[in-house]
Structure 1
Amino acid sequence: MSIPGPWKQVKKTTDELKMLGIRLDIILMQVLKSGNNSLFWLNYWIGNEILSIKFPILFGLEREKGCTLADSLIMVNGEICSTWGWLRTPCSGPEMVELRELLQLCQNVVLEDGNDKVGWDLDDLGDCPACGEADETTGHVFVSCSLAQAVWQAVSTWCMVPHIFAFSIRDILELYKFIKGSKRQAKFFHAVYLVSVWCLWKARNDIVFNGMAVTAEIVVGNIKALGYLWVKNRSGGSSCLGRIGVSLRYS
């Protein structure tokens, strides 16, 4: 049983970052519309856990592990109905326990016209609080805002990797795939990118809710501190950077 795409890596890293108080599941939650762009088992879209992890027995029985919500749930007369493609019908005690919990979890889901997206719902909230130059959308806050652009440039310089080019938060999630080096190096950079997303989100909230003046330098400083903390938490010491072959620019 395996989780395809970037989500296996995201799951492992986000679990480690949760121990530092970094809740990326809040940011990576799918905002549902039709369900066509959200993977039922493999995306964060309901609760606080990917369903393939929450219901591992049922996930093992699922024929199409990469199915979307639109493949798995349909609206009939205003009520949600399931259309899962089981390899065989769930019947054992543990299977039925998971199935009942899954049905209860899905009973209030509503699907409607429109495209799903990654992130929290920022529609109609007005201008971006960081730059005031564009509507505040998830893609703008994390990718195209001048604050985000400055942060990604600084993160690239700090990690001594090519400049980060992304058009969506999903692109950010998959950046680790293009890192040249070992799997350990890729995982480290992946964690740095996820920490960066978290720090941009925190910066946005500091501006909106706390009236703070936030600069790229402040955000990058937080990214560096949390990045080193993540390494230390995983390895028992920052010397792990040398062991995995990662060099950072100390400026």
Structure 2
Amino acid sequence: MSIHHTPRSWPIISHNKRLNGTWDKIVKIDKALATYQVSLADSIKGQVGNGSKIRFWLDIWLTEDRLKDQFPTLFTLETAKSCVVADQCIVTNGNYSIKWNWRKQPRSGEAVNELMEFLDLLYYFRFKGGEDKWVWGGEALDSFSVATMKKVLYRVDPPCSKSILEWNSWMPMKVNAIVWRAIQNRLPTYDNLIKRKILFGPDICCNCLAASESVDHIFASCYVASVVWQRIGRWCNIQTFHIKYIQGLFVAVKQVPEMEHKRKMVYSIVMAAIWCLWETQNKFIFENKPVKIDKVLGDIKYLSFLWIKNRANCLNLDWNRWKSIVL
């Protein structure tokens, strides 16, 4: 693992693309499982013993999600992003305390709310002693077996692009086209341009400098995208999107109740968000315009309202209600 790690990023599964071997094959298996909406990394959970091996922000151990995804605002303020649990949770004379490594103190309302929720989660945490352990989360068993993985895969049909993307008449053709190309992984992202030998050099995302710039990263796992989906979930009064791959967005949309056009409205907002995230990425690269999450969200609300109001004749939308709407 150490030879695959780079101090310039903090991926869930470290991978040096220049090195072939067993670990390279394991990473490729994880990418193949993404077709089935199954993540190998998400199926492994840490059980804290002394906290010396489990990463505080990047591994699954306290809840069913990584803390970096559950509390994205706090994660961006953290300077020691790859720290282990023992580095953060300090025991002094039997009393537990948290050692924060803030870039700046959390003062915004969102950061303070996340911090309060975080502290509530950590209140009952205690070290169990001994070595940290990794357990297999699939089928709620501690140990991995091929049979359990087969059961997981057989329960999920591999999503094809036709079943994931439904052409949306409420959205312009250019938006439908961009979303279709994103699902097909045919957008000119850094990783695709390097594969085609059009660009050379590092393919690090220019927004977060944390991972390779790929379709899944830009629209799902990047810090900017994760905050956008979190706020869209609150805005639409639906379960917050916790997704690692772009296909997961459309799987989540299909779980929205089909009533009074709610699902299609959420679907339209998701497509507008993909359009805005892609436009924001390009403006940063080609026009050097800084990324402002509040502006991205404002553009999503405005464009989705404009497109739906003018293309869905059955809806009577009001802007003041729409920008603060809870569907």
- Could you tell me the percent identity over the aligned residues? 24
Q: Is 1:196 matched with 2:273?
A: yes
Report the equivalent of 2:324: 249
How much has 1:23 moved relative to structure 2? 3.1
Contact 2:178/2:275 (<8 A) preserved: no
Q: Distance in 1 between matches of 2:227 and 2:164?
A: 26
Give the greater-gyration-radius structure (CA). Answer: 2
Q: Is 1:218 matched with 2:286?
A: no
User: SS of 2:238's equivalent?
Assistant: coil
Structure 1 counterpart of 2:234, from 138, 157, 180: 157
Q: Is 1:234 matched with 2:302?
A: no
Contact 2:228/2:297 (<8 A) preserved: yes
Contact 1:175/1:190 (<8 A) preserved: no
Contact 2:301/2:323 (<8 A) preserved: no
Q: Distance in 2 between matches of 1:157 and 1:148?
A: 14
Q: Give the TM-score of the pair, scaled to structure 2.
A: 0.42
Structure 1 counterpart of 2:251, from 174, 182, 188: 174
Per-residue CA deviations over 1:56-86 (Å, capped at 9, x if unaligned) read xxxxxxxxxxxxxxxxxxxxxxxxxxxxxxx
Q: Distance in 1 between matches of 2:272 and 2:167?
A: 14
Structure 2 counterpart of 1:18, from 166, 169, 172: 172
Report the equivalent of 1:122: 190
Contact 2:164/2:251 (<8 A) preserved: no
How much has 1:213 moved relative to structure 2? 0.8
Structure 1 counterpart of 2:223, from 141, 146, 149: 146
Per-residue CA deviations over 1:161-211 (Å, capped at 9, x if unaligned) read 111111211111232211024162111100101111111000100100110
Report the equivalent of 1:96: none
How much has 1:24 moved relative to structure 2? 3.6
Q: Distance in 1 between matches of 2:190 and 2:179?
A: 12
Per-residue CA deviations over 1:113-142 (Å, capped at 9, x if unaligned) read xxxx46445314621111112111111111
Aligned residues: 157
Per-residue CA deviations over 1:83-110 (Å, capped at 9, x if unaligned) read xxxxxxxxxxxxxxxxxxxxxxxxxxxx
Cα pair distance change 1:223/1:188, threshold 3 Å: same
Q: Is 1:131 matched with 2:208?
A: yes
Contact 1:231/1:237 (<8 A) preserved: no
Q: Which has the higher contact order (CA 8 A, sep 6+)?
A: 1
Measured on the aligned residues, the alpha-carbon RMSD in Å equals 3.1
* Amino acid in structure 1 at the alignment position of 2:210: E
User: SS of 2:261's equivalent?
Assistant: helix
Q: Distance in 2 between matches of 1:250 and 1:185?
A: 12
Q: Give the TM-score of the pair, scaled to structure 1.
A: 0.54
Q: Any gaps of 5 or more consecutive residues in structure 2?
A: 1-158, 195-201
Q: Distance in 1 between matches of 2:245 and 2:263?
A: 20
Q: Any gaps of 5 or more consecutive residues in structure 1?
A: 31-42, 45-116
